[in-house]
Amino acid sequence: MIFDLIANRRSVFPPQFINKPIAKETLEKILEAANWAPTHKKTEPWRFKVLTSAEKKAELGKFLSDKYQEVDPKPKQVTIKKLQDNPERSAAVIAICMQRDPKESLPEWEEVAAVGMAVQNMWLCCAELGIGAYWSSPGLIKFMDEYFDFNEGEKCLGFFYMGYFEGDLQEGQRSPIENKVTWLG
């Protein structure tokens, strides 16, 4: 049931992933689910760049760790290692991108929200398929135009790290919805 799937979806981080590839057909199915997210004025702003080869994931990790060391005056070794290792530990890394409507016919936040809904569709599919996933939005995403060839108006909003994992996940916790709702009659 969809309610259970939503309540049981969790972030699963790259160190938890096992060395097992995700079939291209499975990735295509997950991306197709993203394509059915709601979109105001049918702008469909989501764009995805999928990295699955060891070479491409290693290149991304190197770019991120090198860029971090270039822009941070006091880079931390643990962060350098994490930026380098996370792509390589993942079966797939999807760069989550947004293509801004060239006419700017709606506020940018609506385009960002549509991309977020597309990612939620992917995340729920991953949960259903037993694939772990994690959306990371490091400050380095503002430099991704140095790595990817973007169209005009396109930008990166983060990375969706994916991989199979073993073991149980922590039980989710949320404060009661009653604390967040005001009924007006």
**Residue ranges at the known binding site for FMN:** 9-11, 40, 135-137
Residue (of 84, 90, 112) closest to 100 by Cα position: 112
17 forms bridges with which residues in the sheet?
165
Residues 156 and 141 sit within 8 Å (Cβ to Cβ): yes
State whether residue 81 is helix, strand or coil: helix
| Binding-site sequence positions | 9-11, 40, 135-137
A 10 A CB-CB count for 137 gives 11
SS (H, E, C) 50-79: EECCHHHHHHHHHHHHHHHHHHCCCCCHHH
Q: How far is CA 87 from CA 50, 93, 112, 127, in A?
A: 11, 6, 23, 20
Residues 18 and 165 sit within 8 Å (Cβ to Cβ): yes
Residues 114 and 37 sit within 8 Å (Cβ to Cβ): yes
